[in-house]
Structure 1
Amino acid sequence: MVLDNTYDARPVQQETAVGAGAQVLVLSLLGSAFGMGTAGWLTGLAFAFATWAVLSRALHRSRLPSFGPANRVTLGRAVLVGGVTALVADSFRSAPPVSLLVGLTAVALILDGVDGRVARRTGTSSPLGARFDMEVDAFLILVLSVYVAMDLGPWVLLIGGMRYGFVAAARLWPWLTAPLPPSTARKTVAALQGVLLLLAGADLLPRTANAGVVLLALGLLVWSFGRDVLGLRRTTRLRDGARADALRELVAQ
């Protein structure tokens, strides 16, 4: 019996290419709508290329037979996040229409609750899909924190950079890479980050109120990360202690 170990990555690769094309289309529409500058174009195109390259490599390594409907929703969100990224980059030159920025971000945040449900209902959940969803969320929060920081100060960047700081810390302390148990509180805090940053960036409240909203978001995030770090540390110590006890019993025999 001969096993077929071949894997045709072209179908899923074509979908990532469509996503990159959609990103260019969104950038073109934004450019024609308010005359986006060079910084916005370059940042948006860089985001499109990076998303296509990283996602294509991840899909090839995971050997998924199809892209799946949930990943298509997440890819659509990534396209919207690319548009938001371009607008924020261009805002260093001139302020973009707040309604446009808020509209794109709001749709991206709403769709964040869709891809997971689609994955569960269609039975297409996968580690790659979960990671793709998480990375899109994290980058959107980073971009929004950059936008809000232009008004409230660089301390807001702590919100967008906390997840990436956690990833960097895990390289020094591998115990941080241990899987975390499911947590409704963690998911709620993560979802609130985008909503609260969008509220602060929508220019609807006085500056002092915006600062209070962002401080609330930062406080919730510090609590969530702190709880997870302490939990991982406690689990690691218990596991290491159990291994040490088992080794002592083995030596004593």
Structure 2
Amino acid sequence: MALNNTFDARLQQETAVGAGVQILLLALLGSVIGLGPAGWLTGLAFALATWGVLSRALHRSRLSSFGPANRVTLGRSVLVGGVTALVADSFRSAPPVTLLVGLTAVALLLDGVDGKVARRTGTSTALGARFDMEVDAFLILVLSVYVSTQFGPWVLLIGGMRYAFVAAARVAPWLNAPLPPSFARKTVAAVQGVFLLLAGSELLPHLANLAVVLAALGSLVWSFGRDVLWLWRNSRTTAGRTVTGQVVPEPLVLELAAR
């Protein structure tokens, strides 16, 4: 028990350091561009929420070590917190685009690093994968909020789709079933941040940026639609395999799944 408490204390220290670094980044941004109240409050709220949720998840997971991969992901979350503060402050005054693009680009580049570190060090965990996914999803949401100021609220569909899927899964549990590996799904997820960053940087003409955002949304709708269809068919097939606790012959399974 004492050993577990020691490990838990060390893990809590790691998350506290992350929150501290987040506040230092906000202070740096404040000294460089003069963050307004919205930027500060949003950035602090992100830091506290990340610290609280991650601390609780670590306590429940009973990991013996935070791990190098999670440290990389925590560093990415700090950058995402900075981007979040800049986007919140953008409703007051336009942020330096180069600073916003720089923080986002580094966060996106590090997205592929934590997974490689986890595999090479043999420290892959379900918590680490979930932490990585949540950081990615929140960054996409924040970027969609920023880009929506240029093209309209419909852009929020890009950032909100994953959260809508999670909410729908509470009503329809069959959406929680594991999906088969898909390179296409990973590619679509990876390009969302790149496309939104490109549109937000305003390096291209307005119509070109619009085409980029539409491509991001279209590919995301296709990817989610394909996965939802697969999950629905799989749920019906699985339900058809057992009738009153007995295995159903395969032809009948296919018939039930087709209905």
Q: Could you tell me which residue of structure 1 aligns to residue 4 of structure 2?
A: 7
Cα distance in structure 2, aligned partners of 1:16 and 1:184: 32
- Distance in 2 between residues matched to 1:244 and 1:75, nearest whole Å: 47
1:197 maps to which residue?
Answer: 196
Q: TM-score, normalised by structure 2?
A: 0.93
DSSP 3-state at the match of 1:96 = coil
Separation (CA, whole Å) in 1 of partners of 2:177 and 2:2: 31
Uncovered stretches (5+) of structure 2, i.e. residues with no partner: 249-259
Following superposition, the deviation at residue 125 of structure 1 comes to 0.2
Matched, 1:94 2:93: yes
RMSD (Å), alpha carbons: 1.2
- Do structure 1's residue 153 and structure 2's residue 152 form an aligned pair? yes
Q: Deviating runs (4+, > 6 A) in structure 1?
A: none
Counterpart of 1:75, as a letter, is L
Q: Where does the alignment leave 5 or more consecutive residues of structure 1 unmatched? A: none
**Deviation, structure 1 residue 246:** 4.8
Q: Which amino acid aligns with 1:7?
A: N
Structure-1 separation of matches of 2:50 and 2:102:
22
C-alpha displacement of 1:179 = 1.1
Structure 2 distance, partners of 1:152, 1:47, is 26
- Tell me the TM-score normalized by structure 1: 0.95
C-alpha distance in 1 between matches for 2:152 and 2:199:
13
Q: Could you tell me which residue of structure 1 aligns to residue 30 of structure 2?
A: 31
For 1:1-253, what aligned pairs fall within 5 Å after superposition? 7-8=4-5, 9-244=8-243, 246-247=245-246
How many pairs are equivalent?
Answer: 246
Match of 1:7, SS state, is helix
Letter of the 2:4 partner, please give it: Y
Q: Secondary structure at the match of 2:163?
A: helix
Q: Deviations over 1:43-89 (max 9, x none)?
A: 00000000000000000000000000000000000000000000000
Identity of aligned residues (%): 76
1:183 alignment partner AA: S
